[in-house]
Amino acid sequence: VQLVESGGGLVQAGGSLSVSCAASDGTLSTYAVGWFHQAPEKEREFVAAISRVGDGTYYADSVKGRFTISRDDDVNTVTLRMNSLYPEDTAVYYCAARRPGYGRYIYSRIKDYTYWGQGTQVTVSS
């Protein structure tokens, strides 16, 4: 499956932005999904994840309380809503997906995921 991210851009510190992920074949509802980000010259890091059935979410400590991950299977989309953005949130944001072993599993490691999008740039200016 091909994952396509959208919604990145430039925002001022303290502002909000949403990024979305869709599957090219319309099957995102069958996958557990995660978001990761990678800042220049840094390793890719976990941001947030949601179970396939959508009843469980998990966040990195750095974004807890500021970011919300959600899914709308009717429109084949997983969205990461980012509030109270800091300049250090600046990074390329990647969507990742995998078939879950169980519908409520949530995955937070890079190696857990099978499919990756190309990424979308989020830039937070100070």
The pLDDT of residue 124 is above 90: yes
* Predicted pLDDT of residue 17: 98
Residue 10 CB partners (closer than 8 Å, separation 6+): 123, 124, 125
DSSP string, 72-116: EGGGTEEEEEE-S--GGG-EEEEEEEE--SSTT----SGGG-SEE
* Predicted pLDDT of residue 118: 97
**Secondary structure letter of residue 58 according to DSSP:** E
* pLDDT above 70 coverage of the chain, percent: 100
* Predicted pLDDT of residue 79: 98
* Predicted pLDDT of residue 102: 84
Phi, psi of 39 (to 5 degrees): -90, 160
* Predicted pLDDT of residue 77: 97
Give pLDDT tens digits for 69-117: 999 999 999 999 999 999 999 999 999 999 988 889 999 999 999 999 9
Closest Cα to residue 18, out of 80, 86, 72? 80
Give pLDDT tens digits for 19-65: 999 999 999 999 999 999 999 999 999 999 999 998 999 999 999 99
Closest Cα to residue 102, out of 31, 35, 5? 31
